[in-house]
Amino acid sequence: MIAYASRTGTRRNLAALRDAGWRILVSARGVLRNEGFRYALDNGAWTAFTQGEPFDVAAFEKALDLMGAEADWVASPDIVGGGMRSLELSESWLPRLIDARLVLIPVQDGMTASDVRPLLGNRVGIFLGGSTEWKLATMREWGELAREVGCHYHVARVNTRRRIEMCSEGGATSFDGSSASRFAASLPRLERARRQPSLFEGVS
């Protein structure tokens, strides 16, 4: 699995991440700098949600213009906890996003595989967000869908060894978390979990 750590400016932590081969997740609401790493671009909706603010379209568009072209993937705008309203918003952005890059659609509580399947393919993948309880309960289902259609599958907010193991067992392509960005000492155990063979390896 590919591991992304939330962007940090701490040199010690950046050095540890670089040595381990991790990448950086840049948020549209954060500092728009990749620190020399390969990176993906998050839309900033989670930050807005945690701060009780509306989605910042201008910030996302700025981040897209500055960093979108070189990103591994871009998370389409979404509404945290928004269910089908979130999917409608994400889908409305696809015409602008899909031509030049890999786009991930954030899936939220209440969405089902049948809701999302028609949008997926080699240029559109899955970004598993939503509440923690729902995410853990549906992680394997989304992995099965991603394998069925052959798309990228990313799991957000993964900060423990057990969660990384669950991502591997669920067939995730990648995950992100903030623990390794904040605490370099946590990286070795997270990296050991990441390096464990996936149950999906060699399965066709």
Domain assignment of residue 55, yes or no: yes
Domain extent at residue 164: 2-194
Domain assignment of residue 114, yes or no: yes
Q: Tokens for 93?
A: 């952005």
d(CA 88, CA 46): 17
Domain assignment of residue 202, yes or no: no
Residue 184's pLDDT is: 76
Query: Model confidence over 44-83: pLDDT tens digits?
Result: 998 899 899 989 999 999 999 999 999 999 999 999 989 9
Domain assignment of residue 37, yes or no: yes
- The helix (H) or strand (E) run that includes residue 90 is helix 83-97
Is residue 102 predicted with pLDDT exceeding 60?
A: yes
Domain assignment of residue 24, yes or no: yes
CATH number at residue 106: 3.20.20.60
Query: Whole-number mean pLDDT of the chain?
Result: 92
Is residue 203 predicted with pLDDT exceeding 70?
A: no
Domain assignment of residue 203, yes or no: no
Pairing of strands 153-155, 2-6: unpaired
Total-model pTM: 0.92
Domain assignment of residue 181, yes or no: yes
Pairing of strands 2-6, 124-128: unpaired
Domain assignment of residue 147, yes or no: yes
Is residue 201 predicted with pLDDT exceeding 90?
A: no
d(CA 165, CA 171): 10
Number of domains comprising the chain: 1
User: Which pairs from 64-71 meet CB under 8 Å and 24+ separation?
Assistant: 64/28, 64/97, 66/32, 67/26, 67/32, 67/34, 67/39, 67/41, 68/41, 68/97, 68/100, 68/101, 69/100, 69/101, 70/34, 70/39, 71/26, 71/39, 71/40, 71/41, 71/101
Is residue 101 predicted with pLDDT exceeding 80?
A: yes
